[in-house]
């Protein structure tokens, strides 16, 4: 059996839903269990993407529309989102909007509370409103507020979901 280092990499475009995938499960009665990519997507199709909005840990966030923009590479059902910073905003919350084709992904924008470094425990709950984001959709991150005394720095947004 070859090691990972001995395998020839394939580009994502070359993989099809009918390609065979060998699934190794510890203590499985069938060590050569086979599944198609389509089968694996339903079980293992976790999707997460980290967006480095400020493009650096020490870079202050600034109020900006289209602070980060990209085209979605595959169909994804979004289930969660998290914003984080290396330096906490002070004086006011940091607020980030994520939009797909100009429509908000969340019913409430992502909020990092004053003095915090993550939106996970924010007083404003994150509720996904988007459902499926299709391949080719334009995803845009807008920074609406950054703190008033100290701007949050090192802003990242993580989008979480599953492959559609």
β strands within the chain, DSSP E: 20-22, 34-36, 46-52, 64-71, 76-84, 94-100, 103-104, 110-112, 132-133, 138-146, 156-163
Distance CA 147, CA 72 (A): 29
Which tens digit of pLDDT belongs to each residue from 87-133? 999 999 999 999 999 899 999 999 999 999 999 999 988 888 877 89
Residue 70: give the domain boundaries.
46-163
Given a cut of 70, is residue 26 above it in pLDDT? no
If you average pLDDT over each of 17-21, 38-42, 77-81, 140-144, which comes out highest? Answer: 140-144
Q: How many domains does the chain have?
A: 2
Vertex 55: Cα angle to 51 and 58 (nearest 5): 120
Q: What is the pLDDT of residue 127?
A: 87
Asked if residue 69 and residue 126 are part of one domain, the reply reads: yes
Asked if residue 26 and residue 11 are part of one domain, the reply reads: yes
Asked if residue 77 and residue 30 are part of one domain, the reply reads: no
Quote the pTM value: 0.73
Asked if residue 85 and residue 20 are part of one domain, the reply reads: no
Q: Are 154 and 85 in contact (CB under 8 A)?
A: yes
């Amino acid at each position: 059996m070859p090691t990972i280092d001995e395998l020839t990499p394939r580009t994502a475009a070359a993989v099809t839903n009918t390609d065979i995938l060998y699934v190794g499960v510890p203590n499985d009665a069938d060590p050569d269990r086979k599944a198609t990519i389509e089968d694996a997507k339903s079980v293992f199709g976790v999707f997460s993407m980290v967006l480095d909005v400020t493009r650096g840990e020490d870079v202050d966030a600034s109020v900006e529309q289209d602070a980060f923009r990209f085209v979605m590479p595959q169909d994804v059902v979004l289930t969660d989102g998290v914003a984080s910073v290396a330096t906490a905003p002070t004086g006011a919350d940091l607020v980030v909007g994520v939009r797909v084709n100009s429509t908000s992904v969340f019913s409430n924008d992502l909020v990092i509370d004053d003095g915090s470094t993550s939106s996970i425990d924010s007083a404003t709950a994150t509720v996904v409103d988007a459902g499926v984001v299709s391949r080719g959709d334009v995803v845009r991150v807008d920074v609406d507020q950054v703190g008033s005394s100290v701007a949050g720095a090192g802003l990242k947004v993580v989008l979480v979901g599953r492959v559609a």
